Amino acid sequence: MTAGATLASTSTSASPTARQVWVRARGVVIAVVLLLIGAVAIAVVRSDARHGELDPRSADPYGSRAVSALLAQRGVSTRVVTTLAEARASAGPKTTLLVAEPDLLTHRQQSALHSATADSGGRTVLVAAGNSSVGRLAPGVTADPAHSFDSTLTPHCTLPAARRAGTAETGGIRYTTSHLDADSCYPSERLATLIRVPAASGGGDTVVLGAPDILFNDRLGEQGNASLALQLLGSRPHLIWYLPSLSDTSATDTSDRRSFFDLIPSGWLWGTLQLFIAAALAALWRARRLGPLVPERLPVAIRASETVEGRARLYRKANARDRAATALRSTARTRLAPLVGVPVTQAHAPEALLPALSAHLHGDGQSLHSLLFGPPPGDDAALIALTDQLDALEREVRRP
């Protein structure tokens, strides 16, 4: 089959089919789908498990209704507030103010809350306060970046409430303090997980608790959790349970706006970094290794006609008639030169090839020049005609 016939035949599309695309991409698609399913499942489990966390009205495992009920039996009233204004107004010598999630408060809210409780004469209990809040709500107390690996700890201090409660599940955030008169209890690797700081004036104090476990419904009956929780929260007749809310207007402070990355939990940032490192390692593992070319025998024999057909389809798809005509003329000149006594090295020189062909055929050199060295054809019909003329010229030269 000639190249002209190949170009005239119907070409097969070189684009991959839908099946081929699916076969190549199904591994990635399946991995992404599994990752999304896992993320949704984890989110659902976490949302179900943590529903009503640290809410004294919730009977869920992570709620605190049991503590509230036990305090009520001892004459301690519990009131839930969700705004900073209510929390500040409730502070007083007969009140224990529990801040459920101090890290949710803005810097302005933290400073305002501390100014209201510092000289109130009551008790302030901060539950799992991190670096972003403990320094403002309890000046002189610092949170250690490394958390405690042990959840159940012993008091090792002189605080009466801790000594009476004994072992409790306070392990979580660890703290250090610069107050010499502070009580540092339940140490983990020499750092306290519960600190009581007396107020500078009056009979109030601030208690910093490293973990909320002793307040959970499902953990209250373990160890000395109930005793410690009741003593910390029942020292005053009134308990104000402050659950910070996003609907609190005091949280909209333009001077304390957080960026998008500040709102993302640190675990997601670390997870993204790990995925990026894993992707980089996978890319290095699967990357092409650069090195010297190694000849390799093909596992099957490929016919020359198939190669011609494949190249012809590529030329036709790209409308590269000029390249196809150049390839046809170059091949024809290379085959014709030895037949008329011209060296192959001079086959592409018109001044050497055309006189020899004219003498051999006794024809017009001008028509040969247009055929072998002329401009590219303007359309497919002209390209096919060129192919036929080159075939006819070669047959004429080969004729005895």
pLDDT in tens, 74-93: 999 999 999 999 999 999 99
- pTM comes to 0.56
Amino acid at position 83, single letter: T
Which residues share a beta bridge with 187? Answer: 192
- In degrees, rounded to 5, the angle at the alpha carbon of residue 288 between the alpha carbons of residues 282 and 291 is 140
- pLDDT above 90: residue 296: no
pLDDT in tens, 16-46: 677 877 887 888 888 888 888 887 877 666 5
Tokens linked to 16: 């991959």
Domain boundaries, the chain: 65-246, 318-398
Rounded to the nearest 10 degrees, the angle between the axes of helix 380-398 and helix 321-339 is 10
The predicted structure's pLDDT at residue 260? 67
The predicted structure's pLDDT at residue 44? 66
Pick 73 or 18 by higher pLDDT: 73
- 225, 64 Cβ separation under 8 angstroms: no
Pick 209 or 267 by higher pLDDT: 209
Average pLDDT, the chain: 86
The predicted structure's pLDDT at residue 360? 84
The values of phi and psi at residue 395, to 5°, are -65, -35
**Least confident window among 161-170, 210-219, 258-267, 341-350:** 258-267
The residues, any chain, with a CB within 8 Å of residue 49's CB and separated by 6 or more, are 61, 62
- pLDDT > 90: what percent of the chain? 47
Burial class from Cβ neighbours inside 10 Å (0-12, 13-18, 19+) for residue 386 reads: buried
Per the listing, tokens 């599994």 go with: 34
The DSSP secondary-structure symbol of 44 reads H
Amino acid at position 363, single letter: G
**Least confident window among 14-18, 149-153, 165-169, 391-395:** 14-18
Instruction: Show the DSSP H helices in 50-180 as ranges.
Output: 65-73, 84-90, 107-117, 131-137, 160-165
